């Protein structure tokens, strides 16, 4: 169980770091979620939002980060 504790500890540190970065960025990330390809339908009593392009960008960035971690560690 000790390796699991290490992984959870480092995952927590990463989450805190990401949270601090988002907090420090403030309004500089307003473009995220409003990219071309993000689908938004708004009608009275109905809203639908599918951030396809934004989530594709997050997926590519996370894949690149994980590839770099595996490559160098």
C-alpha span between 20 and 15 (Å, rounded) = 9
Which residues neighbour 40 within 8 Å (Cβ) at sequence distance 6 or greater? 47, 48, 49, 50
Query: Which pLDDT band holds residue 36 (cuts at 50, 70, 90)?
Result: very high
The pLDDT of residue 55: 94
Q: 0.85 exceeded by the pTM?
A: no
Q: Domain residue spans in the chain?
A: 1-28, 31-73
Q: Greatest CA span in the chain, whole angstroms?
A: 53
Which residues neighbour 54 within 8 Å (Cβ) at sequence distance 6 or greater? 32, 33, 35, 38
C-alpha span between 51 and 34 (Å, rounded) = 8
């Amino acid at each position: 169980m000790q390796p699991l504790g290490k992984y959870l500890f480092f995952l927590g540190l990463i989450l805190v770091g990401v949270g601090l970065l988002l907090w420090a960025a403030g309004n500089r990330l307003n473009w995220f979620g409003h990219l071309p390809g993000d689908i938004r339908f708004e009608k009275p009593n109905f809203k639908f939002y599918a951030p396809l392009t934004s989530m594709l960008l997050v997926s590519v960035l996370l894949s690149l980060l994980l590839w770099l971690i595996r490559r160098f560690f």
